[in-house]
Structure 1
Amino acid sequence: MITADEVLNDQAASFWLKEQIKNAMNRDIIDAINDTEILLEVLNELNRKRGVVQKKL
């Protein structure tokens, strides 16, 4: 399992990802999780439409 601190200190992590983690720390965590799950579904659908093969994490 990766921690927020590990991502925030990772030079290879995107600025966007780091900002979202920082924002999530100041939100209701359940709302942040729900929004993240919706975002994942939307991005997966965009990938399917483009014919991009999804990588497993």
Structure 2
Amino acid sequence: FYTRAHRFMDAYRRGLNGKQAAWAAKKYHSHRVLPNDILEELDREGIASED
């Protein structure tokens, strides 16, 4: 549970919304934090922010 929560906290800290954070947490399930280029990867995958 701790690792999953930590991944979500890292996503929110980077400015991701809930849908983006869930996608990133699922994709990087074996990592504690998300990669630095996560925003570019979200753009490539077509998961846009809902601003």
* TM, length-normalised to structure 2: 0.32
Higher Cα radius of gyration: 1
Relative contact order, CA 8 A, sep 6+: which one is greater? 2
* Richer in helix (by share): 1
Normalized against structure 1, the TM-score is what?
0.30
